[in-house]
Structures are given as structure tokens and as C-alpha cells.
Chain A
Amino acid sequence: MSAFTLSAAEWDVLRLSVKVALGATLLILPLGVFMGYLLARREFRGRTIVEILITLPLVMPPVATGLILLLLLGRESIVGGWLERAFGIRFVFNTKGAVVAAAVVSFPLLVKAAQLAFSGVDPRLEGAARTLGAGRVRTFFAVSLPLAWPGVAAGLVLAFARCLGEFGATIVFAGNVAGRTRILPLAMYNAYQSPDGMGEATRLLALSVLIASAALVAGTWLDRRGKKKLGRMDAS
């Protein structure tokens, strides 16, 4: 096999990784954007605790995050046990687990980016929308979100890229099962650990670099396009 051709197994790894990262990004999208908006706009009781809880996965070792997830959602836990009995949902050794692990780890990146983006939107524009008859929901979707969108989109790209890099939390919480939870970094580690896997590890590495670069390019493009569409916001 040539150094530049992917094997069927490597293609599977790629597909799974993108699937997990996309799934996790879509999963955190609504709540992440909402939390970002909430933190940018409102003072509420327990705000500090919420901020700490959201930021924690960003600063904790991912292995620790994985352990916490295992304690909260593992088969032996109350919540995890109930989810399995009532709905048959299982996270451990399951792609769903990989998605949850990636989601939790990338969540703070989206929230922080969204919070920053919403802070940059003049709240008086929202007031103006209200006096024009728009309720809270319409004001959010017609004014706040479109104006914050470049920043939110950048946050989504960042979160997606972080999902692709997930290792620690996934291996602890969801395990390292080929075809189910073995995403790129796990596959890379596996290949590197096996006696003659250096070639495969290198190909996966190249793939990793490629996807990450593509994500960053997409992010920059979204940001530029968004800013262009808004024109010079400060001039209005």
C-alpha cells in the first residue's frame, strides 16, 4: 500500500471522526448559543457557578472529564442506569458516548465565543426591535443572532476542531472500540503503539492536519463573509 492511500479501516476512522465531531457540534449548538447569550446579557443568581461549570472542561485534564462523565452517565450510575433501562441509551463503548465526550469538552469553546459575540451586539438594537413589535424570540433570531453570527460561527468551527482532537475524555468514558469510538487521535495512538504501525500513524497524522486546516480556513471564510455582510457596524 502506498504512503498516500488510505486503507478501508482508515477511511472508517475518518468517517467516524467527522460523524462524531459533527454530531457533537450540532448537539451543543442550541444550548451553547443560548448560554453565550445569557451570559452576555443577564445578571442572575448563581451566574458564577454556571460560568465555572461551563469552563471546567476547558481547564481540567480531559481524562478527569471522562471520569466525571463515567461517574455521572456510566452504566453503574443512577442517571446512566436509568437512561439504559428506560430508553436503552448506552454511552460506554458506544458512538453516542464519543459524541457526548466530544460535546462536553468542546462546549466551553462555543459558549465563550458566543458570549463574546453577543457582548459585541449593542443591546439598544434589541430594545429598538422590541419597540417595533418584535417579542423576545423574534428579537433574538432577527437581530441578536444575525449580528453575533460571525463570532458564533467561529466558535462552532473551533468546537468542531476541538472535537476532532478529542482523546482523553473519549478513551476513559466511551472506550477505544474500532468502528464505534476510535476516532482519529485514538486510531493514531493505536497505530503508533503497534509494532509496524508508524506508516499508518503518519497517514492519520497528515489527515488530521488536513482536516484541522480545512476547518480553520472555513472559519476564517465565515468570519470574513459575516463581517462583509454587516458592513461597518460601528458607522450605523
Chain B
Amino acid sequence: MTVLEVELKHRYASGFELDVQMSMSGGRCALFGPSGSGKTTILKAIAGLLRPDLARIVVAGDVLDGAGVRVTPERRGVGFVFQDHLLFPHLTVEKNLIFGRPRGAKDQDGAFFRRVVDALDLGDLLRHRPHELSGGQSQRVALGRAILSRPRILLMDEPLASLDRALKRRVLDHLDRVTEEFDIPLLFVSHAQGDVLRLAEEIVSLDDGRVVAQGPTADVLEQEEREGRLNPLNLVEVTDVTEEGGYWKGRMGHQWVFFSTPPAPAGRPTYIRFGASDVTLARTRPEGLSIRNCIPATVERIVEPEGGGMIFVAMDAGVRIWSEITPRARDELKLATGEDVFCLLKTAALRTF
């Protein structure tokens, strides 16, 4: 089912033109692209905060913008978590949270309120005022406030930008928890491929005001890669990097990996990237191989691009790893969601930056 359809054209005073057609089928979708590609404008248009020159926006079957129709922001059922959160400074956290509570839902809403507060660990913050919160806390309040307004879709502008490593991991955990527990489709803006890989099931990739690709994450990234807009398919963060016998060793998820290029300068997170085709899969831990990195993982999803060809397998190894295999390999390995596999990675195939 399609939860969101967007068609919009908008010309800025600067002459920049946005001309976008996109759709989202549910789950978590990333609006991905470099800054200045029109991502935030699209979110604002969906929320009704900006009036594009031409728009057709449909959420869960309801036309919000269209011929002769323009639904006001308060009647759209579109939740928005702004990049700088925009909590109301004159209200306590609790009052902020219940600001958007639908009218007449007060009694049966008490339980829902508690669930949201628990899921986002807001219990200790309720009496605080926004200026007393850290950035991460304030983002959680903004997220809770949006969820409590019972939106049909949730929009988030750069939820993971400018967060340090530890905080990013916590935010991702919370996002996982709430989107699953409350079953709200999430459309988020990001310019970081690592974040998109980790969080999104679908991608709408934008460049210069146009959609250049959209679909399941693996397909889009593969297409981007093929068309030269994107190099790596896998991009993961490694921590606790140390040198060991001429190689580097770092923690990726709950596994150690070895790689041959140096980590990022101190104070900056280190990422390693490698192609999906660099990941070989095995059902049992192989012996007598020259490959040093053998990472146990669980199959999360198998994506078969339309029209056949290579298959993409998403795996959970504490981080998400994509592998590109042939349909025949899939059949021979009897791969299915939930199965355990080993990912084999050649040290030389891993590049750090």
C-alpha cells in the first residue's frame, strides 16, 4: 500500500527549481541527497508549511493538496520533527508532549501517553523546561510530541545530523523502537549514506531538485553505484581502532574487523566502506581460507530487483551489511530471512575514511 504520494513543482526566488514525483510504501523511507537538493522543502510541503507552485500530495489515500484542495497543516495528520526540534520554550516537557494530543481522546490517551514516555525514556524529564534539556533529550521530546499527535506519517528533518557517535546510536535505537512499536511510517531527510543504510528500507534519492532514483534501499544504492553517483554500498562505522601487526583492527557492531588503510584522524569517526560484491557469504564458518574477516550475521531481508539479475541480501551483524549474490548462489545456500550466515570480507577490499 502507498502511504504517501508526492508530485510537486516549485521555483525558488533564486531560480532553483524543484520538480519531484515520489511515493513511499510504508516503513522507513529516506529522502537522500546532497544539501541544497530540495529535501527539506519537500518535507515542508507535505506538512503544509510551505505552498509550492504546484502540488499533489496524497497521504494514506487522502488528498491533502490537489486541484482545488489545500488542507491546512493542523488537519493533515502529518507529524514533523524539526532539525532543531522547536519545543515550546514556555511549556514544560509534559505540556509540550500533550500539546498535540487529539481533543476528546484524553482518557484512553493516558495509556498511550505512558507508552510513548516509556519508549523514549522521557519519564524523568516531564517537569523540565526545554532550555534545561540536552540536544538528544530535546530531540526525543520532539519525537514524542509528534507521535502523541497521532500522525498518519512522521517526517523528520536530518534526525541524525551533527550527533556524536554514542548519541547517534541511541537515537537510532529510539527510532527503531518507536517506528516499530507505534507503527508509524517515517520519512526522513538525510545526506549521510551510512545513516540511510542503517535506517531506511526505501530511498528517494534527490539531486539538484530532481528525483534520480527511488525504491528499496539496496536497489537504489545499487543503481546509484552503477550510475556513478555513489561508490560504496556498505558504509559502516568502526570504533576502538588499534594497529596490529601492520594491519588495523576495529570494532564493527559486535565483531572485530581487520583492514589495511589507516583510520580517520583522532576525534573523527572512522567509517569503512566496501562494495556489496566484496561480501562473500557462507553457511558455515569456513576453514583454510586466506580471508581474515569472517563475521557472523543474520539475514534480514532479500531484495530481488525487478527484471532479475543480482540479488541483494541485507544482514544484521550489529550493523547492516549488504551482499550481492547471484540467484543461483541464493538457491544453493538456501538463504532466507532469519537464517544465520557468515560474511567473508577481504582485508584489502575494506577502505577507511
Contact = CB atoms under 8 A, between A and B. Distances in A.
B86 interface: yes
Nearest to B138: A236
A132 B88 CA distance: 12
A235 B131 contact: yes
Contact of A231 (B76, B131, B146): B131
B191 to A, nearest CB: 21
A177 interface: no
Given A125-B86, A147-B89, A231-B89, A133 B131 contact: no
Contact of A131 (B80, B129, B133, B138): B80
Contact of A130 (B74, B82, B129, B130): B74
Contacts of B130: 231, 235-236
B337 interface: no
Taking residues whose C-beta sits less than 8 angstroms from the other chain, chain A's interface range is 20 to 34
A132 B75 CA distance: 9
Contact of A133 (B74, B86, B87, B90): B74
Nearest to B130: A236
B86 A122 contact: yes
A232 B130 CA distance: 9
Contacts of A133: 74-75, 100, 102, 149
Given A231-B131, A236-B130, A131 B47 contact: yes
A134 B100 CA distance: 7
B74 A134 contact: yes
A233 interface: yes
Contacts of B89: 147, 230-231, 233, 236
Interface residues of B, number: 30
Contacts of A127: 47, 49, 73, 86
B79 interface: yes
Contacts, number: 75
A218 interface: no
Contacts of B87: 236
The A interface is mostly helix, strand or loop, or mixed, namely helix
B280 interface: no
B86 A124 contact: yes
B88 A129 contact: yes
A199 interface: no
B48 interface: yes
A211 interface: no
Interface string A140-157: 001100110000000000
Interface string B128-144: 01111100001000000
Contacts of B49: 127, 130-131
A232 to B, nearest CB: 5
Nearest to A143: B88
The 5 A-B pairs at the shortest CB distance, nearest first, are namely A132-B100, A130-B73, A236-B130, A231-B131, A128-B86
Interface of A: 122, 124-125, 127-135, 142-143, 146-147, 229-233, 235-236
23 contacts: A124-B86, A125-B86, A127-B49, A127-B73, A128-B80, A128-B82, A129-B99, A130-B72, A130-B73, A130-B74, A131-B47, A131-B79, A131-B80, A131-B100, A132-B99, A133-B100, A134-B74, A142-B99, A230-B89, A231-B129, A233-B89, A233-B131, A235-B131
Given A132-B99, A132-B146, A236-B85, 13 more contacts: A127-B47, A128-B82, A129-B88, A130-B49, A131-B48, A132-B149, A133-B74, A133-B75, A147-B90, A230-B90, A231-B89, A231-B131, A236-B130
